[in-house]
């Protein structure tokens, strides 16, 4: 990808995508935590602790090359996206819980993601390979995630009719944008693509499948209804690969670090669809839809 395109277009495009997320959020979504605190806390524990730990183990067990290991950890630390809401709607999950988790994750990720990435760099990479997130880059991550979301929420609050008109175009733009950066990353690394698929294909497939299963079965084991566990599964199992790739390509200036998120994006929709069909068939909803 052209360096000008990466440094100018990608951050602007991602800001539009994150603002689109904000268009679907209101302050009530944050306040809703008090209604379902158990489901929210369990989902956050799964996403922030369990999945990051699982990604770390996958990196170690499969002995991933340093840059690809950092890329998988970056993906693991990335929050869920609005796509999770769509899957939750299709497979009869608690969409209100999805929206609540999306809202909270957007805030937490601004601080949590740089911390996990820097830890990964220190652990997996040699001193001569440092591509860390220094304070200015951490600030960039914070601004990329939080400011556009707040702008989207501001529009939703003060001009709801405008938010409604923008919602569909921004969703379409988000899909197109994701395809562009996946194709761009693949084209740039086409000579290494087969090697990358061999090195990271199994890791991302495992991470995707485990994310969905952890997201559903851990809440169920802890007494959360099937209705809300479905929402947790898609929120936890569908990571914001667009965010991960943009951070890798712009702030970290590494196509290799972006590859796990690019490969994951291919598995994500397939696995989420299969998982949704399976839980619909074999895990019927509870009669009561609240915790």
Where in the sequence is the domain holding 57, given as residue range(s)?
Answer: 3-281
Residue 215: pLDDT over 90 = yes
CB 216 within 8 A of CB 39: no
pTM > 0.85: yes or no: no
Q: Place 6 in a pLDDT band, splitting at 50, 70 and 90.
A: low
Residue 288: pLDDT over 50 = no
When pLDDT is averaged across residues 134-150 and rounded to a whole number, the result is: 68
Number of domains in the chain: 1
Two tokens, residue 142: 């914070």
pLDDT in tens, 177-202: 767 766 766 676 666 667 777 788 99
**What whole-number distance in Å separates Cα of residue 276 and Cα of residue 230?**
8
pLDDT for position 20: 80
- Please check whether residue 99 lies inside any domain of the structure: yes
pLDDT in tens, 74-90: 999 988 766 787 788 78
CATH number assigned to the domain comprising residue 114: 1.20.1530.20
**What whole-number distance in Å separates Cα of residue 139 and Cα of residue 116?**
15
What angle in degrees, to the nearest 10, is found between the helix axes of 226-237 and 37-45? Answer: 30
Alpha carbon of 252 to those of 84, 113, 114, 246: distances in Å? 26, 13, 11, 9
**What whole-number distance in Å separates Cα of residue 201 and Cα of residue 194?**
10
pLDDT in tens, 104-113: 887 888 788 8
- Please check whether residue 289 lies inside any domain of the structure: no
- Please check whether residue 234 lies inside any domain of the structure: yes
When pLDDT is averaged across residues 229-247 and rounded to a whole number, the result is: 88
Q: Place 139 in a pLDDT band, splitting at 50, 70 and 90.
A: low
Q: What is the overall mean pLDDT for the chain?
A: 81
- Please check whether residue 286 lies inside any domain of the structure: no
When pLDDT is averaged across residues 25-40 and rounded to a whole number, the result is: 78
DSSP string, the chain: --HHIIIIIHHHHHHHHHHHHHTT--HHHHHGGGTSHHHHHHHHHIIIIIHHHHHHHHHHHTT--HHHHHHHHHHHHS-B-THHHHHHHHTT--HHHHHHHHHHHHHHHHHHHHHHHHHHHHHHS-GGG-----HHHHHHHHHHHHHHHHHHHHHHHH-HHHHHHHHHHHHHHHHHHHHHHHHHHHHHTGGGHHHHHHHHHHHHHHHHHHHHHHHHHHHHHTT--HHHHHHHHHHHHSB-HHHHHHIIIIIS--HHHHHHHHHHHHHHHHHHHHHHHHHHHHSPPPS----
Q: Place 136 in a pLDDT band, splitting at 50, 70 and 90.
A: low
Q: Place 227 in a pLDDT band, splitting at 50, 70 and 90.
A: confident
pLDDT in tens, 264-282: 988 888 898 899 999 888 7
- Please check whether residue 291 lies inside any domain of the structure: no
| 26 Rama class: left (phi>0) / alpha (psi -120 to 50) / beta | beta
- Please check whether residue 290 lies inside any domain of the structure: no
């Amino acid at each position: 990808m052209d360096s000008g395109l990466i440094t100018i277009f990608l951050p602007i495009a991602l800001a539009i995508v994150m603002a689109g997320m904000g268009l679907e959020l209101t302050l009530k979504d944050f306040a809703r935590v008090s209604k379902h605190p158990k489901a929210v806390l369990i989902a956050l524990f799964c996403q922030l602790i369990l999945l990051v730990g699982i990604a770390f183990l996958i990196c170690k067990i499969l002995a991933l090359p340093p840059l690809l290991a950092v890329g998988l950890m970056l993906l693991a630390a990335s929050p869920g996206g609005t796509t999770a809401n769509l899957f939750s709607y299709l497979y009869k999950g608690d969409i209100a819980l999805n929206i609540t988790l999306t809202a909270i994750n957007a805030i937490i990720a601004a601080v949590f993601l740089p911390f996990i990435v820097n830890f990964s760099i220190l652990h997996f990479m040699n001193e001569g390979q440092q591509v860390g997130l220094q304070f200015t880059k951490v600030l960039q991550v914070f601004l990329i995630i939080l400011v556009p979301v707040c702008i989207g929420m501001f529009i939703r609050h003060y001009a709801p009719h405008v938010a409604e008109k923008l919602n569909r175009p921004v969703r379409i733009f988000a899909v197109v944008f994701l395809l562009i950066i996946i194709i761009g990353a693949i084209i740039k690394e086409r000579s290494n693509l087969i090697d990358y698929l061999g090195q990271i294909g199994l890791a991302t497939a495992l991470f995707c499948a485990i994310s969905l299963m952890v997201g559903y079965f851990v809440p169920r084991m802890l007494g959360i209804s099937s209705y809300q566990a479905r929402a947790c599964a898609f929120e936890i199992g569908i990571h914001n690969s667009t965010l991960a790739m943009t951070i890798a390509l712009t702030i970290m200036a590494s196509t290799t670090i972006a590859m796990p998120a690019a490969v994951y994006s291919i598995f994500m929709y397939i696995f989420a669809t299969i998982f949704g069909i399976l839980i619909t068939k074999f895990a019927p909803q509870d009669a009561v839809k609240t915790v």
